[in-house]
Chains A and B, each alone.
Chain A
Amino acid sequence: MLSLTKMLTGTAVRASLTGTAVSATMAGALFANPYEPYEGTTLVINVPAHPHYNAMMKVLPAFTEETGIEVEVDQLQYLKMRERQTLELTKDEGDYDMIAYVVFSKADYVYADQLENLAKYFMNPALADPNYDQADLISGYVENIGVAGGQKGYLPGQLGSAFGIPFGSETSVLAYRKDIFEKHGIPVPENYDQLLDAACKIPEVEPGMGGMASRAASGHQASHAFLLHLAPLGGRVFDDNWEPIINNEAGVAAANALKTIVDCGPDGSQTFGPAEAAAAFQQGQAAMFMDSIAFAAGFEDPSKSTVAGKVGYALHPEGVRRGSQTGGFGIAIPKNAQNKEAAFLLMQWLTSKEGDLMVAMAGGNPSRFSTYENAELNEKYPYSATFGEALKYADPDWRPIIPTWGKINADIGTIMSQVLTEGLDPQEALNGVAERARAIMDEAGYYTWQ
């Protein structure tokens, strides 16, 4: 009985091997189709509810048509998505074949060994597309979102490797009201002095309008807003030995800059999240908005925005250096995925030159330099050229991506909110942050080698 089964299985295997060989040869001879072995597979992917991923949804049918691989999408608000993934990734067999993760999840997932290292897929000649052109991927994004294990653990370095590919990544630009700036002869800010001058001049010359709409709500938002100014003003949260330096001169300057911006901003700025800040700009209550490029499409949509066509875009102003933020999402394959190879094919397809352009044309954020240079895209979205330029200065180290970051980030955000609303002294506030951050880092073992 046993031998019979063995024999039968043996035959079956041989038969199928022959079958594959035949089809492979045939395919090789006629047209190579690397997707054929995965035809009919259904991938389940988890992505955020975000303009970029809405654009991806429009493009997915083309993938299914080309490859025969079906894709089922589970879309969630991004913080909810992160919570769901945290639970999903600890299971033995996960439900998701591919996930989009928020940039600061990189530390948590990689540290817990929950993402596939992409090396073995790019080494597999049956899977890796020779025309993929890795060098064309925007380097700041790859360093920030995709790579782990190099310098300081979260930055690229000689021994780092890729765990994800940027997809739906963002940097910061300055959006300003061309009409208002022209009317009052205010120069478009190129450095921080001009920026702060303009921010407070506008409410004087244009009553009822705030200078700049900025995030400032207690917690993550206030911290984000502070860090946005910290990097260009020459500051960092930690030095190379993980000692907090957030309370140095640059840190205080960044806190003061944020306070000036919020004080001269539209009414109620102190409680703005990104959506409220963008809405204030969209409704003409502020003359500037400096945040992610992802908001631009909304400003130019006349059905939502009263300022469509009046908005100019400029690089994030220079402080002592140029440094725009890097953020957004990357895509990766969970360790517990069921269809890893097919998931890799989807990842590669979405971030290929063609895929990236398709998603960008549908309203997504490009991940490739070549997409930003594309004439068709620039015609449809005239600001693309400025965004492409901004990316050259994108700073992958504007905030640390380490497992203890959540707690430190929340602390910075709470304290900044107190600086903005309760008149807490910035120096004193940041000294407190530095002290508590050191204790958190100490407990997590960052000073073990000192």
Chain B
Amino acid sequence: MQIANANRLTPYLFLAPAALVMAVALLYPIGYMIYASFLDWNPSQRIGEAEFVGLRNYVNLLSDAAFRESFWVTLKFAAVVVTIEMVLGVGLALLLDRNIRGMSVLRTLFILPMMIAPIVVGLMWRYMYHPSVGIFNRTIKSMGFEPIPWLSDGNWAFASVVIADVWQWTPFIFILSLAALQSLPQSAMEAARIDGATGWQQIVYIKLPLMMPVLIVTLLLRLIDAFKVLEVILVLTNGGPGLSTEILSLRISRTASEFRELGEAAAMSNYLLILLVILTFAMFAYNKAVEARTARLRKAAEEDL
């Protein structure tokens, strides 16, 4: 009996160190942040001196037009960049999934933008967008057109940060999609070819559905990242003009350092966290539903035989 008990406990014993590390490294900071979000906390105070204000930070934020604006900008930014990146990344992977000479060099070149530090990406694009000496406006002017106010007009500034982000992160989707494509079962592809499927049909009915699990994870990773992007926008526009590119993570950082409201910054982070958790769950729930449906269909098909 005792031995059985001990046996049952052994796995937990082995898990304990990992669980402990997890609790200290993950739960403690999150708990700290949640606690801080209930405080009116100025960085010149210690946390113990801060006044407990309950849900005031959360309530204030809901009626704060600047916060709502920045929440909206974040949603818009994430939706736009992730859509463009998914289409471009998967498209490129489908195009380049073949044996051409020098393919490995090409692939390495494609993922270069991803390897550059975000601050450097920001600076680089900032110089390219420069109104008078930047490459874009110089080219446009030499062709006889009016220069574009890349960073000094709200709509253009939003487009500019989207372009920079797409440039940097499309390779991420590309490389994961390519890996997914290359691990697809050759038998399915061969069967499709024998059945006379066109290239387009192969993509739509065979490749994409088989890649779906990988694509969903990729999408999720990119989406989470897009919600947290900071450095490139910080360097490019610092949120301006007006609030046109002030995404949530930038607003959080400004709230903490410029407005000196640590409690409110923590509450904002929690809103962002809640949003991301909902998104993640929704995505996994969808994935599960799709899997269940496929399993049901397969079972039905097997029963028919």
Query: Is B43 an interface position by the 8 A CB rule?
Result: yes
Distance between Cα atoms of A414 and B131 in the complex (Å): 21
Are A406 and B242 also in contact (CB < 8 A) when A112-B44, A271-B237 are? no
Choice from B131, B152, B239 contacting A219 with Cβ under 8 Å: B239
Name the residue of chain B whose CB is nearest to the CB of A276.
B130
Give the distance to chain B from A89, nearest Cβ to Cβ, in Å: 7
Specify which chain B residues have a CB less than 8 angstroms from the CB of A421 in the assembled complex: 152-154, 240-242
Give the distance to chain A from B123, nearest Cβ to Cβ, in Å: 13
Q: Is B240 touching A218 in the complex (CB atoms < 8 A)?
A: yes
Give the distance to chain A from B159, nearest Cβ to Cβ, in Å: 14
State the A residues within 8 Å of B (CB): 79, 82-83, 86-87, 89-90, 108-109, 111-112, 114, 217-220, 222, 266-271, 285, 403, 406-407, 409-411, 414-415, 417-418, 420-422, 424
Q: Is A417 touching B240 in the complex (CB atoms < 8 A)?
A: yes
Specify which chain A residues have a CB less than 8 angstroms from the CB of B147 in the assembled complex: 267
Choice from B45, B153, B257 contacting A90 with Cβ under 8 Å: B45
Q: Is A217 touching B154 in the complex (CB atoms < 8 A)?
A: no
Query: Is B149 an interface position by the 8 A CB rule?
Result: yes
Give the distance to chain A from B121, nearest Cβ to Cβ, in Å: 18
Q: Is B44 touching A86 in the complex (CB atoms < 8 A)?
A: yes
Q: Is A410 touching B258 in the complex (CB atoms < 8 A)?
A: yes
Q: Provide the main secondary structure of the chain B interface.
A: loop
Give the distance to chain A from B111, nearest Cβ to Cβ, in Å: 31
Q: Is B44 touching A268 in the complex (CB atoms < 8 A)?
A: no
Q: Is B242 touching A108 in the complex (CB atoms < 8 A)?
A: no
Name the residue of chain A whose CB is nearest to the CB of B236.
A271
Residue interface bits B144-163, CB-to-A below 8 A is 1, else 0: 00010101111000000000
Query: Is B260 an interface position by the 8 A CB rule?
Result: yes
Q: Is B43 touching A219 in the complex (CB atoms < 8 A)?
A: no
Specify which chain A residues have a CB less than 8 angstroms from the CB of B238 in the assembled complex: 217-219
Give the distance to chain B from A410, nearest Cβ to Cβ, in Å: 5
Name the residue of chain B whose CB is nearest to the CB of A91.
B46
Specify which chain A residues have a CB less than 8 angstroms from the CB of B132 in the assembled complex: 266-268, 285
Specify which chain A residues have a CB less than 8 angstroms from the CB of B286 in the assembled complex: none
Q: Is A271 touching B151 in the complex (CB atoms < 8 A)?
A: yes
Specify which chain A residues have a CB less than 8 angstroms from the CB of B131 in the assembled complex: 267-268
Residue interface bits B237-279, CB-to-A below 8 A is 1, else 0: 1111111001000000010011111000000000000000000
Query: Is B280 an interface position by the 8 A CB rule?
Result: no
Are A89 and B44 also in contact (CB < 8 A) when A79-B257, A417-B240, A421-B241 are? yes
Distance between Cα atoms of A285 and B132 in the complex (Å): 10
Name the residue of chain B whose CB is nearest to the CB of A280.
B132
Give the distance to chain B from A203, nearest Cβ to Cβ, in Å: 13
Q: Is A218 touching B44 in the complex (CB atoms < 8 A)?
A: no
A-B complex: 8 closest residue pairs judged by Cβ atoms: A218-B240, A268-B131, A270-B152, A421-B241, A112-B44, A418-B242, A267-B131, A407-B259
Distance between Cα atoms of A406 and B44 in the complex (Å): 14
Name the residue of chain A whose CB is nearest to the CB of B131.
A268
Specify which chain B residues have a CB less than 8 angstroms from the CB of A79 in the assembled complex: 257
Give the distance to chain A from B180, nearest Cβ to Cβ, in Å: 40
Q: Is A108 touching B260 in the complex (CB atoms < 8 A)?
A: yes
Q: Is B152 touching A114 in the complex (CB atoms < 8 A)?
A: no
Q: Is A268 touching B243 in the complex (CB atoms < 8 A)?
A: no
Are A414 and B149 also in contact (CB < 8 A) when A90-B45, A271-B237, A422-B154 are? no
